[in-house]
Structure 1
Amino acid sequence: MTALAKRANMKKLAVWVGRFVLLAALIFLAFELRKHWSGISGWRPTGQDVALLFSLALIYALGLLLLAECWHWILKLFGTLHRKLAYASFLITQVAKYLPGNVAHLIGRGLYVRGNGLKDGHIVQATLLEMAIIPSGAIVAIMILGCAGQLGAVLPFIPIWLWWLGSFAILASSAIAVGLSDRLGLKLRPVLLDLSFSLGLSVLFMGLLGTVFAAIFLMLSPAPVAALAGSAILAWLVGYLTPGSPGGLGTREATLFALLSSLQMQDTALLAAALFRLVTVLGDLIAFLAGWLLFRNTDKGGT
């Protein structure tokens, strides 16, 4: 069997594993929903609640501009592309992540910017960088909260010293990689600075994502804000890394419920997870409309 055939089989295996995880998550959620239905079905949103949820969807849609800017900085490594075109390619294709496979938005972004001075190989590299940088932003945000001692309520089995040790290992390995690249004459420092800025944008987005979920949960019941935000970011990461899970559907909600079960507010956790999905889907649709109306007819070139 050739190496190419082996890689293809590994991809198929990963997709089937992801589908199994998705199915297990949906079954788990169905049982929990049945168990806690009386508490969830009794919630009656007020007009103020509806207004808050819509406002949070708008805030989430605005936050997606941080990731669009992150995408623009990644594309800048390979050529000159109008910022508005990069924004359009990100915002308009974002809703495609809900299609089966969870890759249509990535393919769509590449196709959207194709033929604008970027080689196909460069677009593939940019897509791979995006796939690495955005979840890396989630990891950094989680590590920051862990080192600050804010995740003990949902991850009590991880001591704070382990968060610090992990953060030190990440920073040390990054510094060693930069030093080695300089010694080898690769001159990667300018590129790494641009990528670091992109990473910073991703971290900011994750902070906003966590804040949106915390606001939803606090609308229903009081709880530790940082623990809520960290749980939302970690659940997003699990959903992102699950192959074949459209937009993290099912896996994100199951992870949120599992993390927040330690707070002994299962009814609230299930309802908050469902409302969080509603808010983010609405936010993605708002971002799609904004990208279509504001950036779709952008000319080529520029910055």
Structure 2
Amino acid sequence: MPDIAAPRRRPSFERIGRWVGGLALAASIAFIGERLWRLDWSTLQPHASWSFAGAMLGAALLFAAADRALALGWTALVDPERVHPPRAMARIYARGVLMKYLPGSVFQYVSRQVEGAKTGIEHKLLAKSVAIEVGLHLVSSMSVAAACLAFDRWPVTAVMAALIVIGASLSMRRPLLTALAFQIIAFGAFAAAAALIGAAVLPAGATLAHFAALFLLAWLAGFVVPVAPGGIGVREAALLALAGTSLPAAALMAATLALRASSIAGDLGYGLVTLGRRDRG
């Protein structure tokens, strides 16, 4: 009677790795929930309305769309030849989006390094993509902030300039320029989210484009401080400091809190939806 080969078992270290990865992801979601729980929701009570709820929902969707654009930009850097399935690349990035809320602010990059290597991407290329991505964050956020400031005086010129840069970068089909284009789109979505929340909370005379520019500068401050998970605390302090006395304190606090809640909700929604697609094939 011929021997029946026993099914090959996965190496124990691989199973352990899957468990560790699952626990890290669960911890990330728990930290996100804890951050939402700790927010001072009473600040938003004076502004409670259906229109304000709609603005927060719209902002969350814009933050999720920004995550998608950033994922496409990262994919252009690490997989320019499109060797790997787009859905697999999206899941790698989505896991990192959730991991960034873990204390230390480095786990989003660690996660991409580990998951990307599992997919077959070289460690050196993954590490290089992080350095490039960080540099593009600085360039793109500052560029979109400048465009927001220019929008006050020359709205048509500012929009056309952004569209030309994005279109030209995408048409050249070079990984670096493609990543730049998607990052500009992402930070444009950030700015739109800030303007949307500002329209619902700030006084009628407030300049929304200027507020959006301040938010991008505050985002950058939160990004460069390594000890703040997801920029929490630093971004809010920077936005309050940058706005100073130009806006009413109560309205500014409400806008700051609403933006934080919307950004966390957008990250959580994007991460869970993207990861959940795996189970549906």
TM-score by length of 2: 0.72
Alignment of 1:1-303 (within 5 A): 40=43, 43-77=46-80, 80-146=83-149, 148=150, 150=152, 193-221=174-202, 222=204, 223-295=206-278
Q: Which structure has the higher relative contact order (CA within 8 Å, separation 6+)? A: 1
C-alpha separation between the residues in 2 aligned to 1:66 and 1:283?
A: 13
Larger deviation, residues 54-63 vs 275-284: 54-63
Once the 2 structures are TM-superposed, how far is the Cα of residue 295 of structure 1 from its aligned partner? 4.4
Q: Would the aligned equivalents of 2:145 and 2:212 in 1 still touch at CA under 8 Å?
A: no
Once the 2 structures are TM-superposed, how far is the Cα of residue 92 of structure 1 from its aligned partner? 2.2
Residues 256-290 of structure 1: CA deviation (Å, up to 9, x unaligned): 11122242312111111011000000111101111
Once the 2 structures are TM-superposed, how far is the Cα of residue 79 of structure 1 from its aligned partner? 7.4
Matched residue SS, 1:43: helix
Q: Would the aligned equivalents of 1:142 and 1:234 in 2 still touch at CA under 8 Å?
A: yes
Q: Give the AA of the match of 2:200.
A: M
Seq. identity, %: 22
Task: Indicate the RMSD between aligned Cα atoms, in angstroms.
Answer: 2.7
Distance verdict in 2 for CA 1:208–1:83, change over 3 Å: same
Larger deviation, residues 195-204 vs 77-86: 77-86
| Unaligned runs of at least 5 residues, structure 1 | 1-32, 152-189, 299-303
C-alpha separation between the residues in 1 aligned to 2:126 and 2:136?
A: 15
Once the 2 structures are TM-superposed, how far is the Cα of residue 91 of structure 1 from its aligned partner? 1.3
C-alpha separation between the residues in 2 aligned to 1:291 and 1:149?
A: 34
Distance verdict in 2 for CA 1:282–1:41, change over 3 Å: closer
C-alpha separation between the residues in 2 aligned to 1:60 and 1:99?
A: 19
Distance verdict in 2 for CA 1:106–1:78, change over 3 Å: farther
Aligned residue-pair number:
223
Distance verdict in 2 for CA 1:262–1:122, change over 3 Å: same
Once the 2 structures are TM-superposed, how far is the Cα of residue 203 of structure 1 from its aligned partner? 1.1
| Unaligned runs of at least 5 residues, structure 2 | 1-39, 154-171
Q: Which residue of 2 aligns with 1:21?
A: none
